[in-house]
Amino acid sequence: MTKVALIRHGSTKWNKEKRAQGSSDIPLDEEGERDARKLAKRLEKENWDLLYSSPLLRAKQTAGFIHEKVGLEVQFDSRLKEAGGGQIEGTTEAERIEKWGINWRMLDLGMEKPMSVVSRGKEFMDEVLKKHDGQNIIVVSHGAWISHLLRELDKENIGDEHMKNTSLSEIVFREGKWNCDRFNCTIHID
């Protein structure tokens, strides 16, 4: 059985301001660092074999705290990056409406399409199964990346719930398919 813990990075100033982050390299804020430490302490109590992370700063920092507690070297993979936000990166909803109008979502503003995110995610997960069958793997990524991927891998059990910062979602590969056994869990900070 292969188990993967999909972890969303800790909070950033832009999260609090409700700014689209996309592929912008934003650091964790103080709360994000504190919650990432709590998450790392939670993960320390379990058995893990590998640690992967998006190379974006907020994920790298979160993975760094996990590395300190769990002791695994961080392996970076660009397929774990957040969905690219194109022209909306760095903007709030109000700013987008002011700039492009209420129907801004209908415009081609260079945002990465959900199926592109899913394609990257599935390619990564297929490789994980090939290389690390039967192992326990931590993957630090981003909210949209995790949401799109989970909805694709376990369509029956995953809805549109917003992914919380430092949340942990566990998926297990058994009987030929991925099953989400834990979703968007933040007991380490609640």
Catalytic site residue from 9, 67, 142, 148: 9
So what's the pLDDT on residue 156? 81
Question: Which amino acid is it at 172?
Answer: V
pLDDT band at 71 (very low <50, low <70, confident <90, very high): very high
Question: Which amino acid is it at 2?
Answer: T
Residue 33 annotated as catalytic: no
Q: What residue numbers does the annotated binding site for substrate cover?
A: 8-15, 58
On the question of pLDDT at 129 being above 80, the answer is yes
So what's the pLDDT on residue 190? 74
pLDDT in tens, 131-180: 999 999 999 999 999 999 999 998 887 877 889 999 999 999 998 999 99
So what's the pLDDT on residue 158? 82
Q: What is the rounded distance in angstroms from the CA atom of residue 29 to the CA atom of residue 35?
A: 10
So what's the pLDDT on residue 99? 95
Q: What residue numbers does the annotated binding site cover?
A: 8-15, 58
Sequence-separated (6 or more) residues with CB below 8 Å from residue 51: 63, 66, 67, 70, 72, 73, 74, 75, 137, 138, 140
pLDDT in tens, 83-115: 999 999 999 999 999 999 999 999 999 999 999
Catalytic site residue from 67, 82, 142, 148: 82
pLDDT in tens, 36-66: 999 999 999 999 999 999 999 999 999 999 9
Residue 67 annotated as catalytic: no
What the chain holds in terms of domains, given with CATH numbers, is 2-84+113-185 (3.40.50.1240)
